Amino acid sequence: MLNAGKALKVSIYISEGSTYHGVATYSSILDFLFYRGVSGATVTKGIAGFGADHRLHTSRSVEISDRLPLKIEFIESREKVNEILGKLEELVGTGMIEVQETSVAKPAQRTKTKVGAVPEHVKIEGKAKMMRIYIGEGDRWRDKPLHRALVEAMRANDIAGVTVYRGILGYGAQRRIHKDRALRLSSDCSIMLSAIDSEDKLQGFMPIVEQMVEEGLIVLSNVDIIKYAFRATALDQEEAVDAPLEVPQQER
């Protein structure tokens, strides 16, 4: 991690169309910097310029140019720069590398989660419960797909997480085959929701599930949580919940 104090600013100038082993040079450089632990890097694109060949390159509205100048810039400690400079020279090829001494007044920091913003359920470990809910794809609750309504209800009730699976083939109590047919949209497939949390949380949520699921199958089973990783990032307001299902399905 970059600290406040003396450091080096490295500027790399290359052509947009240049490649390294068949891959865009700027992409290869960014990958190298990323996996060597450089604190951060930025790529900017010029709209006009010329280089060692003394040919003028410009961006025109009627012409798409792949020879415009690119600049990759990052700030790191002298030790880190000296460590990676040799490989950078190889990656840059005919481009130019500039190194300047600079001072970091305040280094960038990782985004921190606000106090109280991390749900208590991120601490669950060991014994827990898995809830599986089997319903039909066409089932609805208050004019919306039932599986989406269940996901929203679980999120509102702070259930640790849920995944929706869409079956491609299966049958249930009525012994009727349900399948996902090619070349047409089907609302006859099975849907399974899988959620894992503490027994208290899921038992407390059970009355809501029973109210929303008029016909279907609800199963609770014991699980051992080996690892539950949590990344403190901003959550999207709209999340995709559909995913392929690879286990036999049951229906209402």
Q: Is 15 in the same domain as 94? A: yes
Q: Is 78 in the same domain as 187? A: no
**Within a domain: 222:** yes
Read off the pLDDT band of 91 (50, 70, 90). very high
The residue ranking higher by pLDDT, 114 or 126, is 126
The residue ranking higher by pLDDT, 244 or 165, is 165
**Within a domain: 112:** no
Q: Is 144 in the same domain as 218? A: yes
For 35-82, where are the E strands, in sequence order?
A: 41-45, 48-50, 56-58, 69-76
The CATH number given to whatever domain includes residue 162 is: 3.30.70.120
Q: Which domain holds residue 209?
A: 120-244
The CA distance from 56 to 48, in Å, is 7
Minimum mean pLDDT range among 26-30, 149-153, 158-162, 193-197: 158-162
Average pLDDT, the chain: 79
**Within a domain: 201:** yes
The residue ranking higher by pLDDT, 81 or 107, is 81
The domain tally of the chain equals 2
Sign of CA dihedral 197, 199, 205, 211: positive
**Within a domain: 250:** no
* Most confident among 51-60, 132-141, 221-230 (mean pLDDT): 132-141
Q: Is 144 in the same domain as 221? A: yes
pTM: 0.46
**Within a domain: 109:** no
Which of 78, 104, 130 delimits the end of a domain? 104
